[in-house]
Amino acid sequence: MLSRGFRGFRSLLPSMRFIRVVAYASFAFLLLGLAGARVLYADMREATTHLGKTLTRFAELTGDAETVRLNGVQLHEATALRTWA
């Protein structure tokens, strides 16, 4: 009687083969997601660098202003200089 109940419970559990496939797919998608996040981060850094270089071209128009309004958005312009001693 006890083994009959256990068999019914065992039929609800997934097989080990299915668990291995799910674990492999989860790991593969995790790696792809991390790689995609890294590419997105690099693209955002490149875009902000390009925007900064574009804003420096407008330095003659803005004068010494540190805050520029572009399409209704306030942007703070700054230049970072690093000197190596």
pLDDT at 66: 72
Residue 85 lies in a domain: no
CA distance 26 to 19: 10
Residue 83 lies in a domain: no
Number of domains into which the chain is organized: 1
What are the tens digits of pLDDT across the range 19-78?
999 999 999 999 999 999 999 999 998 888 887 777 777 777 766 667 777 788 887 766
- List the Cα angle 63/46/57 in 5-degree steps: 20
Q: The tokens of 20 are what?
A: 């291995």
Give the three-class secondary structure for 69.
strand
Report the predicted TM-score, pTM, of the whole model to 2 decimal places. 0.53
Per the structure, the complete domain to which residue 64 belongs is given by 2-76
Q: The tokens of 85 are what?
A: 């001693």
